[in-house]
Structure 1
């Protein structure tokens, strides 16, 4: 793994670690400390979520029982105490909140180990209710494993897990119990970037999309803000063939809204072969979007570059736009830049798609450029999901059409089955309305009626 030194994790986000910290039961005082990674606003948000509250309180109880096992166990054995009568050792607010949320944790004649097993059982049954708390790009099964005590539904497994916890307690995040291979990694909840990379390593996997867990640094954002501050009127021109709608959307979401006020509009120069998500970008950004779909005269030749250049000239001379942000990794826009020296330019490219020659030319000309990939991309998930769903609907509409009324008329005609209107309605309600899609392992779809 990369060094866990702080500079490597600079510019990381803290959303994932804040959610994990809440659920595993990290104390509130950690969230309230502005110098600690977990964010208080995430704590407050999850406190409104019943499923998250239940998991957090169960985890808090489990940790406190493990931390104070001997003291609690002795008083249960020799003073006939139960959990509710040990407020100095058990956080009663957890017990009370669980009860209010419908979980009765207190049992008669339970041993302390039985309580741990009961907590483990409830957690294993309820942790999947928190799946929606996390974005779909993270492997949920890896997150889920943190809450599942290995073999925790029997006394031997609970004892083994406790032994590991006691031996390596100093390595556990804020000394809170989780299921992980404990080692000296520092604070594993230091940042999203550090935590997610470790999480995947624990499962013999590798997390590669660091844009989901980090954001562009102050130097990059500062360069953009300086450019906008010095401009009178800015337009973003986008070569949709050579830019990414999700990364552009994420970039705009991660920039200060007040600074973006200098941008009067985004002009999308789109080709029929570009990503369909460009067509709905306007619903995810606050800047006005002008979408220009450019037809091809010759199918093998796109006209986007020519139209983009012409459009930029028109904006400059007719609409008094003095500054342009070009979103494209293509070197063809250098002709526009060199032909319009009176205008100011900033270029947004992507790693791996922009060659060294054009970057050298931009640097030599004093033109600031940045990478769209460097900005936190997790906040563009809604655009990605809705673009996918929209495209699936389009595919279904073009590939499949079924009218059940026509189907039933054909069935009655072919079978010569005589049924009264009441019988037909009952048949329809029982067999037709509950029909559903069945997808096999190869992705083939069939429609299945309710069986008799």
Structure 2
């Protein structure tokens, strides 16, 4: 077996705090044995294995890959048995896992064709089914990950002809110990240790293999234990804590990611999240409460002058009110704006923790926080690879709003106008049948340039 763990201290530091979501899914799909997932010292996570076991599309790809690798590993032995002893792969469980064949049959997939008298025919059929079905697993991976790169791992080059399978087999045999857990994938094998060591390592390599570069490392790594423990200590030491958010100077997706990665045993001690939002900021703030269990108060602040926001003044005033009237002694300020130093210095007995963003907060503010003994952390450091749902919901909301403003079409009025223009008379029954058959079945057509039109479906 290939090296299953990267043991060098330099590499461990380089991939510190990486996640294991992507590599666990890849490991499952290519057929890595379950015992690897059960070994706590190996990267693939058992939780992911158990989740994907309930996904029919993932199961099918997994067991096709298991059988394909088994045949590749034992091709000569299986081929000899079939040729000399007239065996079939169904009667060779020592080489081809019967459990995988049975699971595929249970899932409605049979790669064994009566016409396949040669072993290579089974490989070609497996390759065909994988090629047809691998896109069914696309939804398992986030939108930010290039699916084309993932898909190619499962597609044997020229795998629908004998020559292509022979070429792939030759590469596999020569470099078998370099393949992840010796399972077949399509790549240019090289001695790079365990490519499934963690998400950060795997995704970086995956993009590099395609002459591309992956840079969004907050999607494949999470804040370390020091940062999280410091936040937990802050919450533990508070009598009553709230989160106040300057929506103008914060990212809703990063804040949502941060809250999701914190232990709920601590976040449930936070009384509320108070959003101070200008009318010009992101839609996502209005739906943030759907993605956190902490009560959210959303304050939308109108502008007196269009070029002057009142968010910082309202936030400061409300924080003082929370401190003096509601006995809040601890504030988590989510903002990269230095204007809030005035708030911090005006409440010397209150406790503060500040969440900022790398590219928005200057060195002076960070130095002032350090000199005052106030802990700050970066929202960017928290794992954001699972922020897709919030982003999708925000996009849907914006698109619905846009359509309500831009699309004003009543199909009943359209039909009435058409009848008047054509001077066609219909009975109510005839009109209803026409409406049901043609109007209610209107289809949306979108051109490559994004132009939308309605198409009448004529059977």
Q: TM-score surpassing 0.5?
A: yes
Q: Do structure 1's residue 393 and structure 2's residue 362 form an aligned pair?
A: no
Residue number in structure 1 paired with 2:101: 95
Residue number in structure 2 paired with 1:243: 250
Residue number in structure 2 paired with 1:183: 190
Q: Do structure 1's residue 64 and structure 2's residue 53 form an aligned pair?
A: no
* Structure 2 residue matching 1:273: 3-state secondary structure: coil
| Counterpart-to-counterpart distance in 2, 1:406 and 1:4 | 70
| CA deviation vs aligned residue, 1:256-296 (integer Å, no higher than 9, x gap) | 11112331111100000111111111111111111111110
Gapped regions of structure 1 (runs ≥ 5): none
Identify which of 27, 36, 40 aligns with 1:21. 27
| Counterpart-to-counterpart distance in 1, 2:408 and 2:336 | 41
Residue number in structure 1 paired with 2:216: 209
* Structure 2 residue matching 1:235: 3-state secondary structure: strand
Tell whether the 8 Å contact from 2:58 to 2:137 is kept in structure 1 after alignment.
yes
Tell whether the 8 Å contact from 1:253 to 1:379 is kept in structure 2 after alignment.
no
Tell whether the 8 Å contact from 1:196 to 1:207 is kept in structure 2 after alignment.
yes
Deviation, structure 1 residue 347: 0.3
Q: Do structure 1's residue 110 and structure 2's residue 117 form an aligned pair?
A: yes
Name which of structure 1's ranges 73-82 and 430-439 shifts more when overlaid on structure 2: 430-439
Residue number in structure 2 paired with 1:280: 287
Residue number in structure 2 paired with 1:53: 59
Residue number in structure 2 paired with 1:5: 11
Tell whether the 8 Å contact from 1:437 to 1:446 is kept in structure 2 after alignment.
yes
| CA deviation vs aligned residue, 1:358-415 (integer Å, no higher than 9, x gap) | 0011011111000000000123221111111011101100111211111100000001
Show the 5 A alignment for 1:41-440: 41-108=47-114, 109-440=116-447
| CA deviation vs aligned residue, 1:133-171 (integer Å, no higher than 9, x gap) | 112221111111111000100011111111111111111
* Structure 2 residue matching 1:379: 3-state secondary structure: coil
| Counterpart-to-counterpart distance in 1, 2:302 and 2:411 | 39
Tell whether the 8 Å contact from 1:232 to 1:262 is kept in structure 2 after alignment.
no
Deviation, structure 1 residue 4: 7.8
| CA deviation vs aligned residue, 1:167-198 (integer Å, no higher than 9, x gap) | 11111100000011211111111101111111
* Structure 1 residue matching 2:386: 3-state secondary structure: helix
Backbone CA RMSD of aligned residues: 1.3
| Counterpart-to-counterpart distance in 1, 2:68 and 2:136 | 19
Q: Do structure 1's residue 444 and structure 2's residue 451 form an aligned pair?
A: yes
Tell whether the 8 Å contact from 1:65 to 1:72 is kept in structure 2 after alignment.
yes
| Counterpart-to-counterpart distance in 2, 1:110 and 1:200 | 40
| Counterpart-to-counterpart distance in 2, 1:387 and 1:112 | 52
Tell whether the 8 Å contact from 1:4 to 1:185 is kept in structure 2 after alignment.
no
Gapped regions of structure 2 (runs ≥ 5): 1-8
Deviation, structure 1 residue 45: 0.8
Name which of structure 1's ranges 64-73 and 107-116 shifts more when overlaid on structure 2: 107-116
Tell whether the 8 Å contact from 1:231 to 1:262 is kept in structure 2 after alignment.
no
* Structure 1 residue matching 2:264: 3-state secondary structure: coil
* Structure 1 residue matching 2:165: 3-state secondary structure: helix
Tell whether the 8 Å contact from 2:142 to 2:386 is kept in structure 1 after alignment.
no
* Structure 2 residue matching 1:378: 3-state secondary structure: coil
| Counterpart-to-counterpart distance in 2, 1:423 and 1:378 | 54
Identify which of 19, 31, 44 aligns with 1:38. 44
